[in-house]
Structure 1
Amino acid sequence: MPKYVIERKVPGVGHSTQEEMEKMAQVSNDALRKLGGEVQWLESFVTDDSIFCIYVAPNEEAVKKHAQMAGFPADRILKVETVMDPAFSEPSIPASMASKDKKYDKSIRQ
């Protein structure tokens, strides 16, 4: 299922109280339950004036529907094309060469 980054512009949100953040999460979770698992909220990053949310949903319309039901803005909805991390630059190795803890001896690749 596709993953989305949603930017919600909310002036001053970074200075919200714990209780205000809990209320926002509760409203979001209530809307998610009403959608019956169609949309999943993975996590959010709160900055001074925006919330960047990571969602899994079948399509952009489902993300918009959640925002509307919860009463949240969805100023930008961006479909994630690729997930990248520091290990992205490492060459792939066959699973049979990786150890149980998913690390491997670099000498194997030489």
Structure 2
Amino acid sequence: MKRYLIEREIPGASELTEAELADIAAKSNEVVSSLGVPYRWITSYVAGDKIYCIHEAPSEEAVREHARCGGFPANSISEVSGEFGPHSADVAATS
């Protein structure tokens, strides 16, 4: 499956309570199970007035359908073309 980075603009996102975030998570899980296609929510990050999510899905359209069914904004959806982190330097050192 492809991996997508989703930017959701939600005013006051950083002020959402744990209970409110739990409600959002429950709704997302409910929608994922009803989509009828392979779909996996990996994680989400709250920063300021935005929530950034990483999802695995067969297509951008499936990500848009998840947002529509859940009532979530999906202001920007980008397919992830690669990943790297601190461990990536180890590969360069051994080459």
TM-score normalised per structure 2: 0.91
Match of 2:83 in 1: 83
Aligned length: 94
Where in structure 2 are there 5+ consecutive unaligned residues? none
Match of 1:36 in 2: 36
Q: Over aligned residue pairs, what C-alpha RMSD do you find?
A: 1.6
Higher alpha-carbon Rg: 1
Percent identity over the alignment is: 38
Paired residues for 1:49-88 under 5 Å: 49-88=49-88
Match of 2:26 in 1: 26
TM-score normalised per structure 1: 0.79
Q: Is the partner of 2:42 in helix, strand or coil?
A: strand
Match of 1:100 in 2: none
* Displacement over 3 Å in runs of 4+: none
Deviations 1:55-109 (A, max 9, x none): 00011000000000000000000100011111212237xxxxxxxxxxxxx9xx6
Mapped to 2, the partners of 1:5 and 1:47 lie a distance apart of 14
Match of 1:2 in 2: 2
